[in-house]
Structure 1
Amino acid sequence: MWFMYASLAAVSFGLRGILYQWTSQRRTDRNVLLFGVYLSGALISFVVNLFVNQTWSQGVWFGVPMGLFSFIANASMYKGYSVGRASLIALFTGLPPVVVVTLAYFMWGEALGLVQMAGFCIVILGLLVIRYSHDLKLGQLQGIQWGLLTMLFFGFTDLSSKQATLSAANTLPVLTVMYGTGTILFACMYLLSRLKTPAEKGLKITAAGTAHETPRERETGEGPYGQQARISRHSGESGSSPNSGESRQPLQNSGGPVRAASPVWSMKRTVLWGMTVGITNLAGMLFIIPAFRGGVTGIVSAISAMNVVLVLLYAQFYLKENISRREACGMLLALAGILVVRLAS
């Protein structure tokens, strides 16, 4: 059963990736969107458990590191996409199984059999072939630190999920705590961004006000905007002036500039859509936790990482993007690796 659960988790996470891609083309606030995603998971898990009545044991507190690690991984991934090459960051998002299988060996003594190891290596090779961009050069590694953080903390999320199952914690209470933690963290991120925005606007206003001062007032700081103007000019020198490239964009989220012609989504609409997307995210976690309970940690993580295949098929048939030979070969390798793992299990 664990193999079926891991495969269903891959499908669910693939659907989540498709919805994220579609949403990224709209003018939304990333923190509000992800707040809705995590809020949906917390509410659904809590309400369903009122009827199922799974026990709240001490192990449910492993949901806190699960939520924290998931939050850091998502934040790092979006930051990486905003400052680095997408192909480089995508490479690291396919590598958490390497972290998982390595640490699982040291933490719980989980060693793969010879055939399982061969299948695992084939799956990882396939993911690398799919993700790797042959045009990466040594001077194009901006954002590599965010890619590494993404890989590590997605791996830590899987490991903490496995630890929750080892502590005999029930699925729904663990997910309630996990998504509740993520909801609080993304709410804090949104509030911090709102506090930061008025301060930035204030600097722009004070800079504009200096146009009404006399040359002597601007030089000595004796005019009505003198002190603030000096702060604004200093900020401009550090790269945050109103005329910087970032401020010229009509509106941005963490993934970079968005289409100026697209209408801005309201907070209510963004939260509701985030809660809809959150259903696919919750479904993936509902499948992957039982898979960790019955299967080998590294193998389950590798199978769930196959969600990239579904996203590629979506790009091929819906977005009309051609799948290269490299990507097609990677898909076949990954599927072959999963077949080997299945036969060895």
Structure 2
Amino acid sequence: MWIVFALLAATFFGARGILYQWTSRQNLNRDLMLCGVFYVGFIISVSTMYILGQEWQSWTEVGVGLALGFGSFMANAALHKGFSVGKASLISVLSGLPPLFVVLFAFLLWDETLTTQQMMGFAVIFSGLYIIRYSNDISLSNLQGAQWGLLAALCFSFNDMLGKQSTRLDADIFATLTLMFGFGSLLFAISWLKNRSKLKTKIADTAWPEWKTFGCGMVVGLTNMAGMVAILNAFALGTTGLVSAIAAMNILIILLYTRLVLKEPFTRQEVIGITTAVIGILILRLSQ
């Protein structure tokens, strides 16, 4: 059953990525939009938590929930920023690397042994990334948004490990999500309010009004909420690395969108690099 939840998570997160890419090209305030994304998750989570009679059992569970909120704040901000300044296919591939970091962190922190197949997966992924870097002429002075994709991957892997930890604590799912979405929406609200006065003098008359921006975020947030519920259920039933790897397959949905809808032209080197990176992730998945 866990694989069904993991595949659902991949589908919902893929839809979220597509909507992030689209909204990143609109003349709207990113912080306010993402505040809406998290706020709708908070409303649904706290309502469901109350209906089901769920609660927090310890301060450790509260800490994990708040840490998830901070990690999600960083990850979603980085992903949306990446889509706004970089090529969608490049950002989606780079942000789809949490399984790589999850397995590495498990090895460094918990002394989990790396198998030959996992090492092979790492080598293939790094080969694919090098080809992508070469084909896009990415350098330290010309990152083309790659830094945001990698930051998103790091933060999403951090969240994957925290999500698994919450299930190891037998924390109620909607109690955890209430803290995550509540804290995340608060952080985005603070960021928006902090820069609101500055933005008012810079944004053109064609910018989206605040109510429309926030409402759009709430619609996008439904995909994020559904994805989080699915992946936490998957973590509760399956192994961390395997669930993370399958959920990361959302990049295939985003890549299909960039090719068929955005009509992004792929060079031969990009096709080889993207294919190689995806194969590496699949090797990691099969190694679990």
* TM norm structure 2: 0.81
- Structure 2 equivalent of residue 19 of structure 1: 19
Residues 320 and 145 (structure 1 numbering): CA distance in 2 closer, same or farther, change over 3 Å? closer
Within 5 Å, which residues of 2 pair with 1:231-250? none
- Structure 2 equivalent of residue 50 of structure 1: 50
- Structure 1 window deviating more from structure 2 (30-39 vs 294-303): it is 294-303
The CA deviation at 1:47 is 1.6
- Structure 2 equivalent of residue 315 of structure 1: 258
Q: Secondary structure at the match of 1:140?
A: coil
Within 5 Å, which residues of 2 pair with 1:269-280? 269-280=212-223
Distance in 2 separating the partners of 1:172 and 1:304: 20
**2:245 and 2:284 in contact (8 A); partners too:** no
- Structure 1 window deviating more from structure 2 (139-148 vs 5-14): it is 139-148
The residue type paired with residue 175 of structure 1 is L
Distance in 1 separating the partners of 2:224 and 2:143: 30
Residues 173 and 111 (structure 1 numbering): CA distance in 2 closer, same or farther, change over 3 Å? farther
RMSD of Structure 2 on Structure 1 (CA): 3.4
Distance in 1 separating the partners of 2:18 and 2:144: 25
- Structure 1 window deviating more from structure 2 (72-81 vs 182-191): it is 72-81
* TM norm structure 1: 0.69
- Structure 1 equivalent of residue 129 of structure 2: 128
The residue type paired with residue 315 of structure 1 is T
- Structure 2 equivalent of residue 8 of structure 1: 8
Distance in 1 separating the partners of 2:22 and 2:8: 21
Distance in 2 separating the partners of 1:316 and 1:144: 19
* Aligned counterpart for 1:194 among listed residues 196, 199, 221: 196
- Structure 2 equivalent of residue 224 of structure 1: none
Q: Secondary structure at the match of 2:254?
A: helix
The residue type paired with residue 225 of structure 2 is L
| 1:35-85 deviation digits (Å, cap 9, x = unpaired) | 000001111112223333334322244110011111123334455667788
Q: How many residues align?
A: 285
The residue type paired with residue 17 of structure 1 is G
* Aligned counterpart for 1:155 among listed residues 154, 157, 160: 157
The CA deviation at 1:273 is 1.2
The CA deviation at 1:324 is 4.4
- Structure 1 equivalent of residue 233 of structure 2: 290
| 1:127-167 deviation digits (Å, cap 9, x = unpaired) | 73796452224542477765654343222222211211111
Within 5 Å, which residues of 2 pair with 1:204-223? none
The CA deviation at 1:185 is 0.4
The CA deviation at 1:24 is 2.0
| 1:281-303 deviation digits (Å, cap 9, x = unpaired) | 11111111122223332332232
Distance in 2 separating the partners of 1:343 and 1:29: 40
Distance in 2 separating the partners of 1:308 and 1:196: 35
Distance in 1 separating the partners of 2:287 and 2:103: 17
Within 5 Å, which residues of 2 pair with 1:65-76? 65-76=67-78
- Structure 1 equivalent of residue 179 of structure 2: 177
Where does the alignment leave 5 or more consecutive residues of structure 1 unmatched? Answer: 202-246, 252-259
| 1:75-108 deviation digits (Å, cap 9, x = unpaired) | 3445566778888766642333322111123444
- Structure 2 equivalent of residue 166 of structure 1: 168
**1:60 and 1:170 in contact (8 A); partners too:** no
Same amino acid, percent of matched pairs: 44
